[in-house]
Amino acid sequence: MSYVAPVKDMLFVLNELANLAEVNALPGCEDATPETVEAVLEEKAKFTSEVIAPLNWEGDKAPSYWHDGQVTTTKGFKEAFRMFAEAGWQGVQHPQEFGGQGLPKLVATPCLEMLNAANISFALCPLLSDGAIEALLTAGSDEQKAIYLENLISGKWTGTMNLTEPQAGSDLALVRSRAVPQGDGTYKVFGTKIFITYGEHDMAENIIHLVLARTPDAPEGVKGISLFIVPKFLVNADGSLGARNDAHCVSIEHKLGIKASPTAVLQFGDHGGATGYLVGEENRGLEYMFIMMNAARFGVGMQGIGLAERAYQKAVQYARDRVQSRDLAGSAGPVAIIHHPDVRRMLMSMRAQIEASRALAYVAASYSDMAHHHADAEVRKQKQAVYEYLVPIVKGWSTELSQDVTCTGVQVHGGMGFIEETGAAQHYRDAKILTIYEGTTAIQANDLVGRKTARDGGAVALAILAQVRATEEALAQSGDAQLQAIQHQLALGSAALEDVVKYVVANVKSDIKGVFSGSVLYLKLAGIVLGGWQMARAALVAHDKLQSGDADKAFLEAKIVTARFFADHILSAAQGMRSAIVDGSAGVMGLPEEMF
Amino acid sequence: MSYVAPVKDMLFVLNELANLAEVNALPGCEDATPETVEAVLEEKAKFTSEVIAPLNWEGDKAPSYWHDGQVTTTKGFKEAFRMFAEAGWQGVQHPQEFGGQGLPKLVATPCLEMLNAANISFALCPLLSDGAIEALLTAGSDEQKAIYLENLISGKWTGTMNLTEPQAGSDLALVRSRAVPQGDGTYKVFGTKIFITYGEHDMAENIIHLVLARTPDAPEGVKGISLFIVPKFLVNADGSLGARNDAHCVSIEHKLGIKASPTAVLQFGDHGGATGYLVGEENRGLEYMFIMMNAARFGVGMQGIGLAERAYQKAVQYARDRVQSRDLAGSAGPVAIIHHPDVRRMLMSMRAQIEASRALAYVAASYSDMAHHHADAEVRKQKQAVYEYLVPIVKGWSTELSQDVTCTGVQVHGGMGFIEETGAAQHYRDAKILTIYEGTTAIQANDLVGRKTARDGGAVALAILAQVRATEEALAQSGDAQLQAIQHQLALGSAALEDVVKYVVANVKSDIKGVFSGSVLYLKLAGIVLGGWQMARAALVAHDKLQSGDADKAFLEAKIVTARFFADHILSAAQGMRSAIVDGSAGVMGLPEEMF
């Protein structure tokens, strides 16, 4: 088995750290009982291990290919997607009204992790559909919902996001695609979109492109962008497929990784104009697109965590099997390399970062559910603010660490890691896109500094830190040496983060470039401190359960050891990062451009 | 031009930090005058930019391939190697007696950096020849030297190192290849060797394999390994090529990177036995192989630095050209991304790490020259000890940072970085082998902890730290705010390193696994502190020159800014690393094996 979902770890996080019981008690979340959730996870684990994971290496060896406007996906993908759709996996978190299961995001999140761990190239297709579904649910008309949602949620059709153009990557103000009203409520769309994930493929009957374009009199910049539905095949009044639309895939990219996922160049309107339908109001496209992007950003964070878990499992397997050199403490002959301290350190580093980022992401999902479903509007608002603070961290930090983890995964394999057939290198290559698409780490960090910290004067960040302090207090009072060692590093970390939040708030106006030169470091610092906080919470839970005689001793003790490792080896970087952010801008901005 | 050697920076390091004048004054180094060295570097820069660098991407697109026992290298490699050989580049550091130029290692080192920056796959071939030459110079008989050295140094033939077998990677005790004496002074060699760089190719008339194997009565383990010369073609008494030897390439690997460099599986003796000639004495093979390995380890460190420089130049070019988003401080329209603070931070991080690792490596080379050429035996011994302390750091740290730098290089390119045609991804893929071959980072770190620190009670390390303290003192007394900020971080760093050295010495016997669980962190800490020390020295030199009215203001100020960046952003991690090493072993070793 190349991937076995860590269901026990996932359930521990859901139940002990992410308040599944509280979410289950929310209006509309009554189906998410502990028993149902466990059953869903077990089923998804089986499906991803048996059906999806084996296609991962196949997709790397024999990527999707383009011929004459058509894209043929890797052998097995089409059938697997049919099975995925038929089992209802596309609809886990979507409304029952349109055929979904209506489960909370907290339950959909481990499902998402598993699918991405099993096969990130495959998982991208439903991930983009999720984004399209979210956008239509929020901004689509009732008619649009009726036409598109059921087929997207059933997996009969898939969705795409069309933002990027050759001159407009991170900067959507530069979008040039045009949409010309036809007087009948429809538009003709013209333009070139690049980097369109699953922009063309053979796994579904229709593809619903959501496209950013400008109407003729739109203002310049981001305030003049509108969002359009441009289906590959037009949909007749009876729901059947009509004419082929003028949206064509002219090539796909030759990429470092995620090779089975076709990355399309789409040409709209080369043959008279692609028929498009406005979503919501004109010039509000960016706002709607952000709905898709926020869901997608959280999803990309989960991709990082899933991929890291996959790389970890592979490395552990190799470290158990590969026999090389004697044990340092003495042994008759060579031993499995898992006995060697540095191999152990590498595996712990992978494991600890995965557990921390998983816990933080699931906790964020739980906040999202409360923000959507809580009966009290004020509570919803508070929870939403925390969720929005966490999204750039989940996206940015989890993907950055996935590159570290997959790199370490190759390293554990030694020379074999560099041979493609081993498979460790694929994870390393795949991971590199995660810090780039759906907004680079710097874009996430700008969001964290600007919209999520400076705008409210650091209020949300400081409120979260007050919770961290409460955990520190509990650790200190535990009387346990391991927990107190964790407390020591967590306190240093939370102090560092508080300093940085205050520095950001105090200086963002007077020294904007200085503050933004530390933005990525701030994001990473927030990641390790808030991830470290989750590890500390896990250690506390484990400690309390052990005290009360819980029989699952080895599992609970492992939680404490892993939290200890995270504190000593990952969280211990916090003070240095603080100093780089607060004192380090002179070095960043001091060199004149021509001296590079 | 895809690569332009940073000759000015290199000369600054040679002259101001690595004591070229002192080396030039050594017996046997008289030819290495400042003028000659500059001319050599200029010539090498031209050759690598014009001839070698353009073949780099070609090699990735159309790697070397195997057919029926023969390996055909990428189109252009054979001709380029002929030009390389004819220009005398193989012989830069080798004795004039055998046709080399007899220049110091300090001069050969920037040449090596350039060749690897231009094309690491190409550069591997002469790098392995260098190792074979060193081994024969040290351990070969006069007759062997006469037969092989001139043709290796002229580049007519090339050399290989044959250590690894499927069951024997890092652990050479497990080598099984056999060598059976034939009674005429020759041996018949049998066995399978894997991961043999340029083990077969079409760029030279003959390939001289240096092979580790066991004689029939050899003791077990590493003390029973002997070293043999096994030429691809036997050499007749008159120096002409004779019969094809029984050493055949049965396949080459499909790799993540360095694709143009053929990585061979060699089969010795499948047709009666490969004729081999013992080098030196039986059972001393590992000792001789270490001669090759030490040279090769230093060389791999230079590969990391060269590759990082190449990735940096590419990223700077893209950051200047790519226009996206307005300037944070306000601009009419979008600007080149080099104006954005996080792009600036990424470029500074690349630049600073490259400058620091380059300076440390060149300084190490200078120690090696003094160890070889100084008139005073006691000085030679001291210099050799420092050089040997630095080799695992140059290898381990420079290659680890090359992965960070090439990863950042992709990131600067955004989505384009993930497209193979852009070329940034090739550097990222190529870099991954560097922390693995010639001994993984953990193997380097074990060497640093065991042979280089514990064995002498930390004496060499502490002697180097005393020199660091003298630099700190000079920084403190400069009266300059930038230099004092650098001093602050350098003092924290050197204190951290001293603590760790003392911890290693005090605990290596009582808690061997605990100490070795921090070995890689110790290596990295030594890298940033000693690299940061070189940056500080550079800043002091620049400061003094500026004070005395040197006209090269922008260049010298850039040295200070880059040193400041290194101190604030890289060196600032030192205290956290100290804590991970000294307090962190509980988390590394605490998890029972079955819980992974």
In the predicted model, is pLDDT for residue B324 greater than 80? yes
Which residue in A118, A99, A123, A109 sits closest to A41, CA to CA? A109
Span A580-590, mean pLDDT? Answer: 94
Q: Is the CA virtual torsion B257, B258, B261, B265 positive or negative?
A: negative
Out of A113, A438, A472, A498, which one is annotated catalytic? A438
pLDDT of residue B280: 97
Task: Name the phi and psi angles at B120, rounded to 5.
Answer: -70, -35
Centroid of chain to Cα A508: 28
In the predicted model, is pLDDT for residue B290 greater than 90? no
In the predicted model, is pLDDT for residue A543 greater than 80? yes
Separation between Cα atoms, residue A112 and residue A117, nearest integer Å: 9
- CB contacts, 8 Å: A57 with chain B: none
* Cβ pairs bridging A and B (under 8 Å): 283
Find out whether B485 and A587 touch, Cβ atoms under 8 Å: no
| Among candidates A256, A348, A446 on the partner chain, residue whose Cβ is nearest the Cβ of B420 | A256
Span B452-468, mean pLDDT? Answer: 98
Which residue in A258, A222, A206 sits closest to A74, CA to CA? A258
Report helix, strand or coil for A232.
Answer: coil
Separation between Cα atoms, residue B386 and residue B328, nearest integer Å: 47
Interface touch A415/B516, C-beta < 8 Å: no
The three state secondary structure string of B576-591 is HHHHHHHHCHHHHHCC
- β-partners of residue B546 are none
For residue range B11-54, list pLDDT tens digits in order.
999 999 999 999 999 999 999 999 999 999 999 999 999 999 99
Indicate the pLDDT class of residue B349, thresholds 50, 70 and 90. Answer: very high
Span A89-106, mean pLDDT? Answer: 97
pLDDT of residue A291: 77
- CB contacts, 8 Å: A589 with chain B: 341, 344
For residue range B491-550, list pLDDT tens digits in order.
999 999 999 999 999 999 999 999 999 999 999 999 999 999 999 999 999 999 999 999
In the predicted model, is pLDDT for residue B1 greater than 90? no
| Dihedral in degrees, nearest 10, Cα atoms B530, B532, B538, B543 | -130
* Closest Cα in chain A to B563: A587
Per cent of chain A over pLDDT 70 is: 100
Both structure tokens of B574: 């030192």
Span B77-104, mean pLDDT? Answer: 97
Q: How many CA atoms lie within 13 A of B294 on its CB side?
A: 19
Q: Which residues of B are catalytic?
A: 438
Q: Which of A312, A429, A433, A591 to mutate to test the interface with B (most CBs of B within 10 A)?
A: A591
Interface touch B339/A593, C-beta < 8 Å: yes
Q: Which of B345, B483, B487, B585 to mutate to test the interface with A (most CBs of A within 10 A)?
A: B345
Mean of pLDDT over chain A: 97
For residue range A198-215, list pLDDT tens digits in order.
999 999 999 999 999 999
Both structure tokens of B52: 């070698």
| Among candidates B345, B588, B589 on the partner chain, residue whose Cβ is nearest the Cβ of A517 | B345
Span B479-490, mean pLDDT? Answer: 97
Find out whether A89 and A99 touch, Cβ atoms under 8 Å: no
- CB contacts, 8 Å: B265 with chain A: none
Q: Which amino acid is at A596?
A: F
For residue range A402-429, list pLDDT tens digits in order.
999 999 999 999 999 999 999 999 999 9
* Closest Cα in chain B to A443: B342
Indicate the pLDDT class of residue B292, thresholds 50, 70 and 90. Answer: confident
Mean of pLDDT over chain B: 97
Span A49-73, mean pLDDT? Answer: 98
Per cent of chain B over pLDDT 90 is: 97
Find out whether A33 and A402 touch, Cβ atoms under 8 Å: no
Contacts of B27 (CB under 8 A, 6+ apart): B373, B375
Separation between Cα atoms, residue A467 and residue A530, nearest integer Å: 10
pLDDT of residue B110: 98
Q: Which of A568, A582, A595 to mutate to test the interface with B (most CBs of B within 10 A)?
A: A568
pLDDT of residue B536: 98
Helices B120-139 and B105-118 meet at what angle, rounded to 10? Answer: 150
Distance from CA of B508 to the nearest CA of A (A): 11
Which residue in A190, A198, A208 sits closest to A152, CA to CA? A208
| Among candidates B170, B338, B342 on the partner chain, residue whose Cβ is nearest the Cβ of A414 | B170
* Closest Cα in chain A to B557: A591
Report helix, strand or coil for B441.
Answer: helix
Both structure tokens of A478: 């535990």
- CB contacts, 8 Å: B63 with chain A: none
Interface touch B338/A433, C-beta < 8 Å: no
Report helix, strand or coil for B219.
Answer: coil
Domains of chain B: 7-127 (1.10.540.10), 157-283 (2.40.110.20), 289-316+355-586 (1.20.140.10)
Find out whether B344 and B337 touch, Cβ atoms under 8 Å: no
| Among candidates B513, B575, B579 on the partner chain, residue whose Cβ is nearest the Cβ of A568 | B579
The three state secondary structure string of A478-492 is CCCHHHHHHHHHHHH
| Among candidates B344, B573, B587 on the partner chain, residue whose Cβ is nearest the Cβ of A517 | B344
pLDDT of residue A292: 79
Separation between Cα atoms, residue A583 and residue B557, nearest integer Å: 19
Find out whether B198 and B207 touch, Cβ atoms under 8 Å: yes
Interface touch A170/B414, C-beta < 8 Å: yes
Indicate the pLDDT class of residue A493, thresholds 50, 70 and 90. Answer: very high
Provide the pairing of β-strand B226-231 with B274-279. Answer: antiparallel
Residue reference for tokens 């620190």: B453
Range with the poorest average pLDDT among A18-27, A140-149, B327-336 = B327-336
For residue range B200-232, list pLDDT tens digits in order.
999 999 999 999 999 999 999 999 999 999 999
